[in-house]
Amino acid sequence: MTLFYGTELSSRLMLGTAQYPSPEILADAVRHAQAGVVTVSLRRESAGQRAGQAFWNLIRDLGVPVLPNTAGCHSVREAVTTAQMAREVFGTDWIKLEVIGESDTLQPDMFALVEAARLLTEDGFKVFPYMTEDLVGAERLLRAGCEVLMPWGAPIGSGKGLNNLFGLRALRAHFPGVPLVVDAGIGVPSHAAQAMELGYDAVLINTAVAKAGNPVEMARAFAMAVEAGRMAYVADPMEARDMAAPSTPTIGQAVLA
């Protein structure tokens, strides 16, 4: 199993916790997905009313490692401040770093992302940056102290799958020793299997499970797809070819006159 900042996860499936129909369905989905990590967005609580406390208790009771994120942040300062608050709330130095630069696609701002990653790693955080499939940006993030990269498959919540196979393959080839996680855009289990077949180390999924007609069954489907995709990658799949190749050879067969 791949190590993420020295930690071995129980599964290569990371699951988001937003938009589920109910807390009970969320809990069942996490269990059936056998998720190795759950991601959570920080919500600012009222000190008096303790809004959101029941949600935190639910997440803790699941017994799954938590990866807080800076979802919705659009600047370095906002992302760094949110990360620092998340560390206090969740008691972890892991942070999924999101700095959004474009509103329609929710594309990451790679310039701000690198700067925020640098500041957070200097502050002791273990940063999981949500990024585009950009080789130069990836190199800058690694120099900033990141040990994991999380390129998008497609825009968040779009369900389009892996839009840039060339870019994702290039990232895997250029950084063979770096843990890579496809994050965002995955819509169906076959997309997750495809990411794993490319040699990625994990996938992070939220909307495709939470918004399914049956989130629990979809979580199970993704769990199986991730496992199947990884097994296929390890098994070294055959290469595609343009011409047919008979599976049954003609040599040695009887010739009927």
Active-site residue list = 96
Q: How many residues in total does the chain contain?
A: 257
Give the three-class secondary structure for 11.
Answer: coil
The residue whose two tokens read 């993420």 is 4
Distance CA 170, CA 165 (A): 8
Distance CA 112, CA 31 (A): 35
Distance CA 40, CA 125 (A): 16
Distance CA 211, CA 198 (A): 26
Residue ranges of the annotated binding site for 1-deoxy-D-xylulose 5-phosphate are 157, 184-185, 206-207
Residue ranges of the annotated binding site are 157, 184-185, 206-207
The two beta strands, 66-69 and 37-41, are: parallel
